[in-house]
Structure 1
Amino acid sequence: MAKASDFEGKKQDELFYFVDYSPEEAERVGYSNYSYWGSVIQNFLKHKAAVVCLILFLFLVIFSFIALAIGKYDYQTLVTDSSLAFRKPNSEYWFGTDNLGRDYWCQVWYATQVSIRLALIVAVGESILGVIIGLIWGYVRKLDRFFTELYNLIDNVPYIIYMTLIALVVGQSFTIMAVSMIAIGWLVMARRVRNMVFMFRDREYNLASRCLGTPLWRVLTKNILPYLVSVIILRMALSIPATINLESTLSYLGIGLGIETPSLGLILSKVRGFFLDYPYLLVFPASIVSIISISFYIMGNAFSDAADPRNHV
């Protein structure tokens, strides 16, 4: 052990020296390996059922294209032959035939593509419009009364009335249906985002950020958005099966996409008078709708939990 006498003969500058400040070293010391989206993915992968549902849905989407490619008949050139009506599934007609003798395999898988595409477009459109309006609604206090009254005005009218009027006045097509659903469906997303923004807007760290001159967009994206991601993802996931179910209901009532645009809802509406005698007409499209609905319900809840920063350790 060194004694005090050993240092007596040394100069002070030999015992002590100033350490140079290095911004790079300071950043390295304070650096954290935490990644928000990395943690979201890790937490999501822990939910085995949700991962299985995700794989099942992706397989369903990919197989819908493969099924049309390997099918013996083309949907665009379906030939009506009443003598082939109500043929049960066999080696020639893998899903059987409908009441007009048309191949049911290509109809179901083509309709699956249309329904999934419609549901994804509506879910993304509702989310973008709802998040933008919800952020403005929740953060700008002067506009709270205006958006609240607008929400109450639109929400108090039954959804089916809007869609009926649009179908009768504007028309029935894929684009009209998608735009109509987005124009009305943003209400739920905007309301939830508004409530979350209103809750976190005046937290201490947000007040401190604003006092330090942090730009508004950075406060919203860095301080508030991580707490909104779980709500947004859950709403998007639930919107997809809800859109398919709503489109099925509208097609059943005759105000859906239209006869020229097949969908799972339109197919289900056509077979409602035959499925008791020919159950295969209902089993195949209903099974696809059920798989999509259950998958997104499980995935939505799992991803919502994984996206919540409070569940990250």
Structure 2
Amino acid sequence: MAKASDFEGKNPDELFYVVEYSPEEAEKTGYSNYSYWGSVFHNFLKKKSAVFCALLFLFLVIFTFVALAIGKYDYATLVVDQNNKFISPNSEYWFGTDNIGRDYWCQVWFAAQTSIRLALVVALGEGIVGIIIGLIWGYVRSLDRFFTELYNLINNIPIIIYMTLIALMIGQSFTIMAISLIATGWLNMARGVRNMVFMYRDREYNLASRCLGTPLWRVLTKNILPYLVSVIILRLALSIPSTIGLESTLSYLGLGLDDRTPSLGVLLRNARLFFLDYPYLLIFPAVIVSIISVTFYICGNAFSDAADPRNHV
């Protein structure tokens, strides 16, 4: 540490020097290369199990297209051969044949493709509807009672009743099931968003925005929505395996997709009468359902934690 005696008797010109002015340096301020999404992916990549599950699911999705391309039989021209019933997996029929002699390989992978597509559509629809309603539900106090009663009305009736009425009165198809699941599945997303909006609605910066006349949509999208990213990601990630599981259950009960639109649930339903004697009919679709459910559960939790700003340094 310098002492006062070190400066005694020295010329001021020796103690100080003039720094040259640079416009570029003067424009510079404190800078950090922090990026929110960069930090999210950095934290996510630290979790090896979640990365492995994400790659496994991606591989599964890609393989559903590859499997149909390399298969020996085309699902669109699937031939019913009563003489080839219940053939175990072999070099000709890689996954064996079903109870009416159809190739099970193309059925399983076409059904997996259908179930994944349904899950993604439903997750996206639930996300959009749930986020919009949740933001309005949590922010506009006068509508809280209305949305609370609507939530209780829909949520307290078992979904089996809804799907039974829809299947009997409207029909069974991919579009009908997707719309039906979105119409009843937005509740969890909306409830989670609404609870989070309650926490941030009356923060000082939101009060200041309202006093300055900021439009409601801008307060919701700019001030509040960014804080809900981790909750939204978790709900979306968990919605995909939940949808596939629900579709499998409904199809098993005969309330899901029709036989003309095969899905993993339809295959599981068809296998229930024969799986004790021919277990491969149940094993292949059940393994795919399990892989999708487990991978998305692990990835959803890991990505939600990574997206939480409190976990960023």
Q: TM-score, normalised by structure 2?
A: 0.91
Aligned to 1:12: none
For the pair 1:98 / 2:98, whether they are aligned, the reply is yes
* Structure 1 residues 256 and 68, CA gap change in structure 2 (3 angstroms): same
Q: CA deviation at 1:226?
A: 2.7
Structure 2 counterpart of 1:124, which letter?
L
CA shift at 1:206, angstroms?
2.7
Give, in whole Å, the separation in 2 of the partners of 1:96 and 1:205.
63
Deviation at 1:86, TM superposition (A): 0.7
Partner of 2:62: 62
Q: Does 1:82 align with 2:74?
A: no
After superposition, the C-alpha distances for 1:192-218 in whole angstroms (9 at most, x for unaligned) are 100000111112333344445555444
Residue by residue over 1:272-303, the C-alpha shift from the partner in whole angstroms, topping out at 9 and shown as x without a partner, is 01111111111110000000000000000000
* Letter of the 1:300 counterpart: G
- Which residue identity is paired with 1:307? A
Aligned-partner Cα distance in 2 for 1:16–1:210: 48
With over 3 angstroms needed to count, the CA separation of the structure-2 counterparts of 1:98 and 1:206, relative to structure 1, is same
Asked whether the equivalents of residues 226 and 308 of structure 1 are also in contact (C-alpha less than 8 Å), the reply is: no
Corresponding residue of 1:254: 254
For the Cα contact (< 8 Å) 1:238–1:296, is it kept in 2? yes
Matching residue's letter, 2:82:
S
Look up the match of 2:53. 53
User: Secondary structure of the equivalent of 1:273?
Assistant: coil
Work out whether 1:202 is the aligned partner of 2:202: yes
Structure 1 273/305 Cα, relative in aligned 2: closer, same or farther at 3 Å? same
Distance of aligned partners of 1:280 and 1:27 in 2 relative to their CA distance in 1, 3 Å threshold: farther
The aligned residue for residue 128 of structure 2 is 128
- Partner SS state of residue 109, structure 1: helix
Counterpart in the other structure of 1:225: 225
Q: Is the CA contact 1:247–1:265 (under 8 Å) kept in the aligned structure 2?
A: yes
SS in 1 for 2:28: helix
* Amino acid in structure 1 at the alignment position of 2:310: R
TM-score, L = length of structure 1: 0.91
- Using the TM superposition, name which of 50-59 and 73-82 deviates more: 73-82
For residues 84-142 of structure 1, give each alpha carbon's deviation from its aligned partner in whole angstroms, at most 9, with x where no partner exists: 11111000000000011110000000000000000000001000100000000111111
For structure 1, the 5+ residue unaligned runs are 9-14
CA distances 1:58-109 after superposition (whole Å, capped 9, x unpaired): 0000001000000000111111111111111000000000011110000000
- The separation in 2 between residues aligned to 1:79 and 1:5, in whole angstroms, is 102
CA distance in 1, matches of 2:173, 2:88: 31
Check whether the contact 1:138–1:193 (CA below 8 A) recurs between aligned residues: yes
Deviation, 1:55, is 0.3
Contact kept, 8 Å, 1:50 with 1:298, in 2: the verdict is: yes
Report if the CA contact (8 A) 1:84-1:100 is conserved. Answer: yes
Unaligned runs of 5+ in 2: 1-5
